[in-house]
Structure 1
Amino acid sequence: MIDFLIRRCIKDADNTSDVRVRTRYGALSSGVGILCNLLLFAVKFLLGTLSGSIAITADAFNNLSDVGSSAVTLAGFKMASKPADKDHPYGHGRIEYLCGLLIAFFILMVGIEFVKNSVEKILHPEPILFSYAVLAGLVVSVLVKLWMNRFNTVLSKRIDSPSLAATAADSLSDAMATGVTMISVIASAFTDLPVDGVIGLIVAVMILKAGYGVAQDTLNPLLGSPPDPALVKDIKERMLTYPDIIGVHDLMVHDYGPGRIFVSAHAEVPANGDILSCHDTIDTAEREISKALNLQLVIHMDPIETECEVTNTLKRVVEEVIAGVDKSLSIHDFRVVIGPTHTNLIFDLVLPIESKWSPKEISDLIDRKIREVDNHVFTVITVDRDYV
């Protein structure tokens, strides 16, 4: 069924790197979401009214909020597909994340409202009319929501969309919420206790939890979440397959929305190599890796001394000292400047994000440890942060 809908509704469905194809996936998800949620709202609102159940009515309005969420998702995909302009040179892809935040706001508002209504129902309970028709309607609702979860999960994985993944998670939480509502309807047939209000409160909490999760998932990329480790590994491995590139460091990934990833990296090349040949290699690597991974890669060329025995020996000494201090540290851009009275060791020290060291503290410690080995050398250390 899902594959049939994709084939029928999305032209060139396998070309998911195309922004227009992504927009069609978003439109399909939104269209199905609007249709299903409108039907579920109508059915649940009718069942809630006939049975007098606040839990069912709360669930109905949760589905109505999902209609708004689907509409926002559709608008978000449309706006995110706009090309770059002079005011937004990196495109409009992050609008998809902003729409996710708006969806989270809708969900949270519905949850807050039904916390209020459920507490009122607990304090002033009203009888619920139990019927098998109501129960059957809720069972159908759970099945529809489980299918929507599967549907949006498939779509989100195809285009790597955080907003569709959030929609899938929301559908699953809706199915769970409706399942809890079914329990309240069944329980009402056996007790006069205010089960409906209590279950309604549980549903409201589940709605709030779903809203918080959606907000967190869409806010992280806006604030700057770390890149996928698999992508980082893939970029480095591809770069190292090119002749002349003997090392990679200072790799940074900037995400401006799905399909709009900009990457910069420093490629280490032999200092005694032909500069024109190395430059041609760098250009080729930029072009081929960008095309293969659907991103924009810019490579800076760093010449590295590979044949000077003095430099290599001193570098090994520094690496051993650093490993003895903290194995999570690493260096790059190592250079040696030999003078008449002393030798300068110039290098960048990479400090992991989670490191306990401050830049000054670790620089002073490394300098002291190196001078304990050889007091004729001085260090010039630049502390880098590891952004991947």
Structure 2
Amino acid sequence: MDQQERYDNLKLGERGAIVSIVAYIVLSAFKLIVGYIAGSEALRADGMNNATDIVASVAVLVGLRLAQKPADRNHRYGHWKSETIASLISSFIMAAVGLQVLFAAVSSVFGGSEKAPDPISVWAGLFSAAAMYFVYRYNRRLAVRINSQAVMAAAKDNVSDALVSVGAVIGIVGSQFGLPWLDPVAAVAVGLLICKTAWDIFRDASHHLSDGFDESTIESFKEAILEVEGVEAVKDIKARNYGSSAVVDVVVLVNMELDFAEAHEIATSVENKLKKTSEVYEVHVHYEPVDVSEMLS
């Protein structure tokens, strides 16, 4: 995949963020209004979650746009990591909301709730869950298609919101059967689920930003390199993430009897081989001579 295709994918990723923003604006207003009228703590907590998700989705959109900026003097590799930074910011926003929802819900539980919310809140929750599930499916397909960490983070947020709405519905339905305390308890579950999703997104984003890389993917890179004719062994291989792409550093061993031009051609073949993988953006190949007879002995 060339650089222009990566920029085009980031443009496509913006669609996912915009779809999420529109969905969250509509659903947060809907849930907060219905939750207030129906007297449902769980539905209001769900609405608050969606209201903050608007900010998180805007952060993803800004990150995707910043990632499209070309390389400059201070960013020789480009601005691809802006996408991952956007995911990290989203996790902080989600965690803040989750803790706020937890605090309000726990206070409500211990404060004692004697009145069950209006049944209309059940239908509102079910509608919201269905809507967010469809947004999740759209964003997940898009994230897989363009290999975008930020859009996948948005998709995880979407599916957690769908589950949150289902949890709110369960609490509201239970409160209709003489268990009014179940509604604020469901709000506690909502808060915990928001915090769990925030942690998952934070863990993935911080792993990428600290140059962590999936070991199985490293192994697949190594296997691909060993298929290149002239490569005797892979002495060392490292990789790091730049947004949805990877930069690979590899040291290969080549026959010591080869001249410079032949060894350089092998290094170029290694580079081209890895760049055929959609994840790889740049490859730095260093080759060292080795006595093949000693390797075979």
Same fold (TM over 0.5): yes
The reply to whether residue 169 of structure 1 matches residue 153 of structure 2 is: no
> In structure 1, what is the Cα distance between the partners aligned to 2:214 and 2:117?
53
Aligned equivalent of 1:47, options 22, 31, 34:
34
User: Which structure: larger Rg?
Assistant: 1
Which one of the candidate residues 283, 292, 295 is aligned to 2:276?
Answer: 292
Hey, what's the Cα distance between the residues in 2 that align with 1:151 and 1:120?
A: 36
Give 2:233's match in structure 1, choosing from 239, 247, 251.
247
Seen in structure 2, the aligned counterparts of structure 1 residues 189 and 289 have a Cα distance that, compared at 3 Å, is same
Residue equivalent to 2:115: 127
Residue 17 of structure 1: how far off its partner (Å):
6.8
User: Secondary structure, in 3 states, of the residue corresponding to 1:190?
Assistant: coil
Letter in 2 for 1:280: E
Which structure has the highest helix share of the two? 2
In the alignment, the residues of structure 2 paired with residue 227 and residue 149 of structure 1 have an alpha-carbon distance, to the nearest angstrom, of 25
Q: Which has the higher contact order (CA 8 A, sep 6+)?
A: 2
Partner of 1:279: 264
Q: CA deviation at 1:87?
A: 0.8
Could you tell me whether the CA contact under 8 Å between 1:156 and 1:162 is conserved in 2? Answer: yes
Separation of aligned partners in 1, 2:59 and 2:98: 18
- 1:241 positional shift: 3.8
Distance 1:172 1:134, change over 3 A: same
Matches within 5 A, 1:117-196: 117-124=104-111, 125=113, 127-131=115-119, 133-191=120-178, 193-196=180-183
Write out per-residue CA displacement over residues 279-318 of structure 1, whole angstroms, 9 at most, x where no aligned residue: 23323443x23542342222212111123xxx458xx6xx
**Superposed counterparts of 1:78-93, under 5 Å:** 78-93=65-80
Secondary structure of residue in 2 paired with 1:65: helix
Distance 2:179 2:266 in 1: 78
Q: What is the DSSP-based 3-state SS (H/G/I as helix, E as strand, rest coil) of the residue aligned with 1:62?
A: helix
| Residue identity matched to 2:134 | W
Find the counterpart in structure 2 of residue 201 from structure 1: 188
Alpha-carbon distance between aligned partners in 2 of 1:16 and 1:279, rounded to the nearest angstrom = 24
Gaps of 5+ in 2: none
Aligned-residue identity in percent:
24
Question: Using the alignment, how far apart are the partners of 2:125 and 2:115 within structure 1?
Answer: 19
Alignment check: 8 A CA contact 1:37 1:66 kept: yes
Shift in CA distance, 272/62, structure 1 to aligned 2, threshold 3 Å: same
Q: Aligned residues, how many? A: 294
Look up the match of 2:206.
219
CA distance in 2, matches of 1:91, 1:251: 22
Any idea what SS the aligned residue of 1:183 has?
helix
- Where structure 1 has 5 or more consecutive residues not aligned to the other structure, the ranges are 1-13, 317-388
Q: What is the rounded CA distance, in whole Å, between the counterparts of 2:114 and 2:40 in structure 1?
A: 8
Q: Which residue of 2 aligns with 1:34?
A: 21
Aligned residues: CA RMSD: 2.2
Q: Tell me how far apart the structure 2 counterparts of residues 135 and 208 of structure 1 sit (CA, whole Å).
A: 24
The answer (yes or no) to whether the contact 2:153–2:201 under 8 Å persists in 1 is yes
